[in-house]
Amino acid sequence: MPDGADHQQEYIRDRAKEEGVDFSGLSKKDRGFREGREKLRFNGQFSTGETFAASENKGEANFGIIKDGKEVFNFKDLLPEGYKFTTPEHWINLDESSADAPFDFKTDPTKFRQEVQGIWQCGDKFISVGKITSLQDIVALLHEVGHSRENPAELRQAQDIGDTKREAEISSQLERKAWAEALRDVRKIKEATGANVLEGFQDADDLDKYINTNMATHRYMAELKTSGTIRNVLQMLDIKTIFGTPTINKIDNLFDKKKPPKK
Ligand SMILES: [Zn+2]
């Protein structure tokens, strides 16, 4: 039986197909990495001679730029104080009673691992890293770094009261902000090392497509979430038999589409 994550993946895939969004780059299979059997290890060469090196040690990921055999830049320097890059091994070995376990992990470690382990995500004092197979993935890394500088208090508030519509509006803004931060860091790294970390993309259109696909994915997830509220209400009232299967609420004004409406 498909679990929640599979159901979500299926919906995202169907919606991407419907809208002609190329989802193939984001839907790669990486089960071995997510389950901690495959370790993080990647070296990518820039045309200017530098190397991007990704590795892991005891559940912590390390990302650097190497020039003439020396590390000239470490991505940890971009993180706020106290943050670290975590690999699947970190979450596998983490104990619920551990002082540095995030609140959501303590509440339900199984669910947390399923949703976060080996998946690009920024949380409380950590960035969970996904599998790295090309220079393009550096942008995913910088995007999460961008999220680490946000103050998601307003988002949490919306989540706490179950206002999924407001939650979608706020996360749409936060996603845009995180991409803007990522592109600022691209410039910073270029100035510091000479390497253009956007080299994994053919041109500006290629990068644009990558960002838009990512944003569309968030929009599809928000559709599921906002529709979930309606579904719950219907179940609560037990009138679903009258209306049949509840329909999905499509969102067309957030994330990759226009700005959220002004209040
Ligand atoms: Zn994001």
Q: Where are the domains of the chain?
A: 4-17+31-243
CA of 123 to the centre of ligand 1 (A): 11
CA of 241 to the centre of ligand 1 (A): 37
CA of 42 to the centre of ligand 1 (A): 22
In 3-state terms, what secondary structure has residue 31? Answer: helix
CA of 215 to the centre of ligand 1 (A): 8
Q: Which regions of the chain are under pLDDT 50? A: 1-3, 239-242, 263
First and final C-alpha spacing in the chain: 43
CA of 191 to the centre of ligand 1 (A): 25
What is the per-residue pLDDT for 123?
93
Ligand 1 ion: residues within 5 Å (CB): 175, 178
143: tokens are 């995007």
What is the per-residue pLDDT for 2?
40
What is the per-residue pLDDT for 257?
75
What is the per-residue pLDDT for 185?
98
What is the per-residue pLDDT for 248?
74
What is the per-residue pLDDT for 13?
87
* CA dist., res. 242 & res. 234, Å (int): 10
Q: Which amino acid is at 4?
A: G
Give tens-digit pLDDT for 20-29: 998 776 666 7
What is the per-residue pLDDT for 4?
53
CA of 217 to the centre of ligand 1 (A): 10
Beta bridge partners of 44: 52
CA of 177 to the centre of ligand 1 (A): 9
DSSP secondary structure string for all residues of 36-97:
TSS--EEEEE-TTS-EEEEEEETTEEEEEEEETTEEEEEGGGGSPTT-EEE-HHHHHH--TT
CA of 240 to the centre of ligand 1 (A): 34
What is the per-residue pLDDT for 175?
95
